Amino acid sequence: MLRDFSFVLIFILLSFLLCFLVFVVPWVIAPRSKGVKAQDIYECGVDPFGSAWVRYFAPFYLYALIFVAFDVDVLYLFPVALGYWREGGSDRFLVLLIFLAFLVFPLAYAWRKGVFWWRP
């Protein structure tokens, strides 16, 4: 197990190293632009009004909230599914149904509350 994940760790490091090397090359061999606006923020060729970091509107956060309600539960489905077929009796199906019912509930609630209906 530990050896498995040492592989993963080494590969992560490898990818970072590779990326770093790839970024050093252009730093060395690429020419650089000069210009007053070269380092400015691009916005279709004109100066932007105000910052991009402003208060953002709600629908995205609502989606994020139901996702949180969902994702962890969905991940627990894997242990349920793993031995589902070969082990245990028909009562497993009932367990699955109960599990899914918990998933259906937030979805139905969000649907009812109009999260999926966009309006300005």
Partner 1 sequence: MRLWLKRLYRLYFQSDPFKAGLCLLAALTGVSILLGLAWLLGKALWDLGISAWGVDFLRLVLGALWVLLVLFGNALLLVWVERKVAGHMQWRIGPKEVGPFGLLQSIADAVKLMGKELVSPRYVDKPLYLLAPFLIFMPCVVVLLVIPFDPHLQIRDINVGIVLILAFSSLTSIAVFMAGWGSVNKYSLLGGMRSISQQIAYEIPMVLSIVPVVMLSGSLSLKGIVEAQKVPYLLLQPVAFFIYLISAVAEVNRTPFDLPEAESELVAGYHIEYSGMRFAMFFLAEYTNLFIVSALLTTFFLAGYKGPWLPGWAWFFIKTYLVVFVIMWFRWTFPRVRFDQLLNFSWKFLIPLAMLNLVVTGGVLKL
Partner 2 sequence: MVEAVGPRVKLGVLEEFLNLARANSLWPMTFGLACCAIEMMATVAARFDLARFGAEVMRPSPRQCDFMIVSGTITKKIAPVVRTLYEQMASPKWVVAYGNCAISGGPFVFEGQYNVIEGVDKVIPVDVYVPGCPPRPEALLEALLKLQEKLTGVRRFPGPERRW
Partner 3 sequence: MVAEGLLRDLDAIGCVVEEVPYERKGYWFDVKAQKEKLPELAGAFDQHGYFVEEVVCVDWREELELLYHFNHWDDPRRFSVRTRVKATDPEVPSIWNIYPGAGWHEREIHEFFGVKFKGHPNLSYLFLHPDIDFYPLRKDFVPVTEEDKRVLLGRFPEGDEESFWLNMGPQHPSTHGVLRLLLKMKGEFIEDMEPVLGYMHRMQEKMAEERSYSQYYPNTARMDYVAPLAFSLCYVLALERCCGIEVPERAQFIRLIAMELNRIASHLLWLGTYLLDLGAATPYFFAFDDREQILDILEGLTGSRLTYCYYRIGGVYEDLNEGFLEAVDRFIQRMKRRLKDYDELVTGNAIFLGRTKGIGVIPKEVARRYGVTGPNLRASGVAFDIRVCEPYDGYRFLKPKVALREEGDSFARYLVRLDEIRASLSLLEEAISKVPEGPYRVEKLPKRPPVGDVFFATEGARGEVGVYIVSDGSDKPYRLKWRSPSFSNFVSFTEIGKGMLIADAVATLGSLDLVVPEMDR
In the complex, which residues of this chain contact partner 1 (CB under 8 A)? 3-5, 7-8, 10-12, 14-16, 18-20, 22-23, 25-27, 29-33, 38-44, 48, 51-53, 56, 59-60, 63-64, 66-67, 70-71, 74-75, 77-78, 81-86, 89-90, 92-93, 96-97, 100, 103-104, 107, 110-111, 116, 118
Cα four-point dihedral sign 42, 43, 47, 52: negative
H or E segment at 51?
none
- 120 touches, from partner 1, partner 3, partner 2, none (C-beta below 5 to 8 Å by class): partner 3
User: Measured from the CB of residue 38, what is the shortest distance to partner 3 in angstroms?
Assistant: 16
- CA distance to 34, 48, 54, 61, 85, per residue, from 44 (Å): 19, 9, 19, 28, 57
User: Measured from the CB of residue 86, what is the shortest distance to partner 1 in angstroms?
Assistant: 6
- 72 touches, from partner 1, partner 2, partner 3, none (C-beta below 5 to 8 Å by class): none
Q: What DSSP designation does 36 have?
A: S
Residue type for position 78: F
Greatest pairwise CA separation for the chain in angstroms: 73
